[in-house]
Structure 1
Amino acid sequence: MTYQNDFIVFWEKVKESIEAGTFAKLTMAKTIGKLELKNIFLRPIYSDDEFQVLLKYSFRSRETEDIEEEMTLEDALVILKSHLKTTFLTVILFSTTKDVTFKVNKKGIGTITENHPTFKNVTQA
C-alpha cells in the first residue's frame, strides 16, 4: 500500500473533524532537507455560507514574510498534496478531541497515529 491511500484515510479524519466543529489546525512539518519553507498551516474559518481555511506558508528566515491565503478545503488539499513527500513528510491534524499524525517514511509508506488533543478550543483564523 502506498502513502497516497493512507493519506486519503487521514484526509477523511480531517473532514470529519471539520463537520464535527472540532478542527483546530493542520500543520505540515518535518521538511526534507533544510529548506527555506519551514511549515504550512491550515486554520479554520467557519461561516454560515461555506467553510474555508487560512493557509499560511511559514519561512525559516525572519526576512521572508509569511504568506497567507484564504481558500476552500479542496483547494488547500491540492497544495498540501503537492508538498507531501516532496517538501514535507509529516502532516498533523489538531482537533479538540484528538491529534492525528500522518507520516511518510523513506520507503514511501504512510502511517497514521492518534494522540491526546493538544488544543482544547477551536480558534478561528
Structure 2
Amino acid sequence: MSFQPVFVQFWEKVKESIQNGTYAKLTLAKTIGDTELKNIYVRPVLNDEKNDYKLSLTARYKTEEIESFHTVDEAFIVLAPYMNNPFLTALLFTTENDITFKLNKKRVGTIIEQAPTFKNASDVIIEMKEKGII
C-alpha cells in the first residue's frame, strides 16, 4: 500500500491550519541513514505587493541551506517526493495540536495528533489574519 494518500490527508491539515490561522511551523525530518539533506523547514512569507503569501521551503544540507518559494499546492508537489527519500517524518505544529505524519519500516503512513507545542501561530500567520488574507 502506498503512503501517498495518507500524506495527501496530512497536507490537507497543513492547508486547514493556514486558513484557520493556527499554523506555527512545519518540518520534514528523521532521515534514513546519514544524508546530505538534513531537514526542510516550511514557513509562510507575506507578499505585501500582491496581498497574498507563499511558503518558504528551506532545505538544510550539511554544508548549506537553499530557500525556495512556492504556493501551497506547489509546495506539496515539491515536498511529496522527499517523503520516504530521505524523510520518514513530517511534523506540523499548530496552536490546536501537533500533527505528525510518520512512515514505519514497511513504509505505511500514519497521522498522529498530540497536544500542541506552540501557544501562538507564526508571526506571519497572525499578520495575514490582521490583513484579511486568510
Q: TM-score, normalising length from structure 2?
A: 0.83
* Letter aligned with residue 24 of structure 2: A
CA drift of 1:92 comes to: 0.6
**8 Å Cα contact 1:24/1:44 also seen in 2:** no
Residue matched to 2:129: none
Q: Give, in whole Å, the separation in 2 of the partners of 1:76 and 1:82.
A: 11
CA drift of 1:46 comes to: 4.4
Residue matched to 1:51: 53
The runs of 5 or more residues in structure 2 that have no matched partner are 126-134
Q: Give, in whole Å, the separation in 2 of the partners of 1:16 and 1:8.
A: 12
* Letter aligned with residue 35 of structure 2: L
RMSD value, Cα: 1.8
Q: Give, in whole Å, the separation in 1 of the partners of 2:54 and 2:115.
A: 25
Paired residue secondary structure (1:97):
coil
Residue matched to 1:117: 116
Q: Give, in whole Å, the separation in 2 of the partners of 1:45 and 1:22.
A: 15
Residue matched to 1:104: 103
Identity of aligned pairs, percent?
49
Say whether 1:31 aligns with 2:31.
yes
* Letter aligned with residue 108 of structure 2: I
* Letter aligned with residue 38 of structure 2: K
Paired residue secondary structure (1:106):
coil
Q: TM-score, normalising length from structure 1?
A: 0.88
Q: Give, in whole Å, the separation in 2 of the partners of 1:85 and 1:106.
A: 10
Q: Give, in whole Å, the separation in 2 of the partners of 1:97 and 1:46.
A: 22
**CA shift in 2, pair 1:99/1:46, >3 Å:** farther
The runs of 5 or more residues in structure 1 that have no matched partner are none
